[in-house]
Amino acid sequence: MRISPLPPLNSLVVFESAARHLSFTRAADELNVTQGAISRQIRHLEDYLGRKLFIRDKRSLSLTSTGMEYYDSIQQSLLLVAGATGNILQWQGDQQVTVVTTHAMASFWLLPRFNAFQELHPDIDVRILAVDSLKDIRHNEFDIALFFCHEAPADLTATPLFAENVFPVCSPGYLEKNPHIQHTEDMLKGTLLTLEVGEEWLSWQAWFRACNIEYKADAGPRMNINNYLLVIQSALNGQGLALGWENLVDDYLASGLLIKPVSTSVETTSQFLMLEPEQTARPKQGAEYFRKWLLSLI
């Protein structure tokens, strides 16, 4: 929907400065224009509004009641615009890097390793944006993105980081309560913690198919969850069996908080990719350092 009515936008900046200083001369100095230019912009704005904004006499300048009310609103609006602009410009420096990835990748893989990068490059500021889907990166400006996918979007440069092995995991307590789970097909009678996403995460149905086992949705109880962090948390709570992605759950396996109830594993055809916008200028130094650090982890 079109935003209307909008006054001449240049005139708003001039009006805010003149109203703040109550002086056309000081506004002209601040904006680096002539006093005549200030007068013309104010007159243009008043003509558009059909109201006087200033009371002019030979020795002073003051706001009309309309001018005072308008000034309060315009100044607040310009402050919001300036704040939003500043937030963007803050992350345009050579030593500032924006990384976009999923909540799961950020929580289970990137953040546990991030201290190593900070120790190597303490002068580089990294902003990590967690999103739910690869589609969401279109809404964010970024230097590097980390996603699991079969093919990268056509307008991004992709560098493979690693493929994935996917296998069942559960808590030791869950396996103790379900001693009948000894073979891969036995898991069909367990509580399968199912991730409800439509992208390239491997489903239980696809996983069993890769193991040449017929998947029957009604064979046992299911718990459907739309977030992988919650899937793993449910597994840690002893609520069922989850599909573990090797590079995401390796710390939990090493600590013994999660275990593999069976040894069966499926290697995915998709990979975790490092995605970068096509460069039109020299890459940021910070982004180059972050890129090299990621590749050193492979």
What DSSP string runs through 106-157?
IIIIIHHHHHHHHHH-TT-EEEEEEES-GGGGGGS--SEEEEEESS--TTEE
- pLDDT tens digit sequence for 39-84: 999 999 999 999 999 998 877 899 999 999 999 899 989 888 887 7
Q: What is the pLDDT of residue 264?
A: 96
Is 80 exceeded by the pLDDT of residue 94? Answer: no
246-252 mean pLDDT? 94
Non-local (6+) Cβ contacts of 177 within 8 A are 238
Give percent of the chain above pLDDT 90: 60
- pLDDT tens digit sequence for 163-204: 899 999 999 999 999 999 999 999 998 999 999 876 678 899
Q: What is the pLDDT of residue 95?
A: 79
Query: Ramachandran region of residue 151, left (φ > 0), alpha (ψ -120 to 50) or beta?
Result: beta
Q: What is the pLDDT of residue 285?
A: 87
247-267 mean pLDDT? 95
Q: What is the pLDDT of residue 79?
A: 85
Is 60 exceeded by the pLDDT of residue 108? Answer: yes
Distance between CA atoms of residues 191 and 174, nearest Å: 10
Q: Tell me the CA distances in angstroms from 105 to 206, 229, 249, one per residue in order.
A: 21, 9, 10
> Which band of pLDDT confidence, cut at 50, 70 and 90, is reported for residue 265?
very high
pTM: 0.68
Of 17-31, 230-244, 257-271, 274-288, least confident by mean pLDDT is 274-288
Non-local (6+) Cβ contacts of 23 within 8 A are 61
| CATH code that applies to domain 9-90 | 1.10.10.10
* Phi, psi of 83, deg, nearest 5: -65, -45
Query: Ramachandran region of residue 172, left (φ > 0), alpha (ψ -120 to 50) or beta?
Result: alpha
> Which band of pLDDT confidence, cut at 50, 70 and 90, is reported for residue 251?
very high
> Which band of pLDDT confidence, cut at 50, 70 and 90, is reported for residue 92?
low
Domain segments of the chain as ranges: 9-90, 96-162+272-296, 163-269
Query: Ramachandran region of residue 32, left (φ > 0), alpha (ψ -120 to 50) or beta?
Result: left
CATH superfamily ID and name for 96-162+272-296:
Periplasmic binding protein-like II (3.40.190.10)
Please tell me if the domain spanning 9-90 has the same topology as the one spanning 96-162+272-296.
Answer: no
Q: Tell me the CA distances in angstroms from 161 to 23, 165, 237, 271, 288, one per residue in order.
A: 60, 14, 31, 7, 16
Closest CA to 289 of 160, 156, 117: 117
- pLDDT tens digit sequence for 110-135: 999 999 999 999 989 898 988 877 87
Q: What is the pLDDT of residue 226?
A: 87
Q: Domain 163-269 falls in which CATH fold?
A: D-Maltodextrin-Binding Protein; domain 2 (3.40.190)
Q: What is the pLDDT of residue 5?
A: 87
Is 60 exceeded by the pLDDT of residue 280? Answer: no
Across the chain, mean pLDDT equals 89
> Which band of pLDDT confidence, cut at 50, 70 and 90, is reported for residue 252?
very high
Q: What is the pLDDT of residue 85?
A: 77
